[in-house]
Amino acid sequence: MSSPFDIGPARADEVHDLAAIAGWAFTPSPADMLPWFEKIGLPSIRVIREDARSVGMLSIIRMGQWFGGVSVPCAGIGAVAVSAHHRGRGVATRLMQAALREIRDAGMSLSALYPATQPLYRAVGYELAGTRFEVTLPADAIDIKDRGLELRPATDSDRPAMEAAYARRARWSPGNLDRDHYLWDRVLHPRGEPPLSFLILGPAGVEGYVVISKAAPGTIPSDFVVHDVVAGTPAAARRLLSFFADHRSVAKNIIWFGPPSDPLLAALREQPYTVKVRFQWMVRIVDVISALEQRGYPRSAEGELHLMVDDPLLPENNGCFLLEVAGGKGSVRRSGRGTFRVHVRGLAPLYTGFQTPEAVRVAGLLEAEECDLGVAAELFAGPAPWMSDMF
């Protein structure tokens, strides 16, 4: 018996129905969702239909994710929503399964998402693999007064310089996104009060920037929300902190999303800030061979790992793979002894550096001898993966 469900790209005549579905699932009203459809574009939306009527949707965002200094092709999944009367019928699971097959066939190696519920995504091979950290710094506690570098408002013509500054930072920040136009638009033109953007200029040119707005316009004092910030030099970090401090009469807290060991915070004399986990994101290894070959590795690491991967959904990922790493690069072929037995879910936090091989083993997603655990720990060593973007 054939399935009553059909899955395919969104059509223009479905937008209002899809906005109602998304509005029911998320905070925005259906009317608020309509501009989002225009920004992301219908070619990025996949719809599941029953008897030709749309009952669920998701978005696929083509981007990259930086690991080991290399941007690995990644599909971001967002706006997964199911109509009220179709919940609990496996609609979202069918939609995710079809999306993953499409993503693999399109040559993407990874997929990433922020889960509203973890069981759904674990069932199709995703696992927690990184963190979005929220930094809160009281404006009146900033003890930096350094205005040695020029700070000026950014214009549209400055966007390439901002993108270059971001890329320099993101390249060596595991988990950061290699943003496309849509993701940059979310940073520079978020919902709500339009933010202000400022460049930090020094001897090296653009040494940093900030995109900032008030959390509650019309309220004094108000928390200030930083939508994006980069400090590429110590002087730029001090200048940005001085800029934040200059707003202490109208700002209660400065809030941004950065790494757990943010260099901006290292410039402070004391520790008046808090850093907390706001969200944890998930990753799915869509193509084992290309994912392992495309990421970078520590240049000092050298060794081989005899993997045996179990992937219940994508059979091309099943079997034995020999990963050989040298000179910061990895090569993979179908071979090896299969002594490092890992579920595709367990491969994600190992790949990103979110968990050590021992932690993945304790979670029940990996079986290996002590010597193989040591090799994997060396090959996938690096800073904790983090991400500032939502998508």
For residue 58, the domain's CATH number is 3.40.630.30
Instruction: Give the model's pLDDT for residue 202.
Output: 96
Q: Which domain-ending residue is among 250, 265, 280?
A: 280
Q: Which domain-ending residue is among 239, 256, 280?
A: 280
How far is 18 from 8, CA to CA, in rounded Å?
13
* Domain count within the chain: 3
Whose structure tokens read 């200029």? 201
What confidence tens digit (pLDDT) does each residue in 292-302 have?
A: 999 999 999 99
Same domain, 150 and 228: yes
Same domain, 84 and 181: no
How far is 58 from 354, CA to CA, in rounded Å?
26
Packing angle, helices 30-40 and 181-188, rounded to 10: 130
The answer for residues whose C-beta is within 8 angstroms of residue 314's C-beta and 6 or more apart is 100, 101, 104, 125, 286, 344
How far is 357 from 212, CA to CA, in rounded Å?
39
Same domain, 108 and 23: yes
Instruction: Give the model's pLDDT for residue 27.
Output: 79
Same domain, 254 and 320: no
Flag whether 275 is in a domain. Answer: yes
Same domain, 27 and 120: yes
Flag whether 359 is in a domain. Answer: yes
Same domain, 121 and 137: no
Same domain, 138 and 74: no
Helix (H) or strand (E) holding 120: helix 118-122
Ranges of residues in the chain whose predicted pLDDT is under 70: 1-2
How far is 155 from 168, CA to CA, in rounded Å?
20
How far is 179 from 347, CA to CA, in rounded Å?
24
- Domain of 304 in residue numbering reads as 287-379
Instruction: Give the model's pLDDT for residue 1.
Output: 44
Q: Which domain-ending residue is among 220, 254, 280?
A: 280
SS3 372: helix
* Bridge partner residues of 256 (DSSP): 135
Flag whether 391 is in a domain. Answer: no
Flag whether 388 is in a domain. Answer: no
Same domain, 144 and 257: yes
Flag whether 384 is in a domain. Answer: no
Cβ 288 vs Cβ 258: under 8 Å: no
Domain of residue 300, CATH code = 3.30.1050.10
The amino acid at 358: E
Same domain, 172 and 267: yes
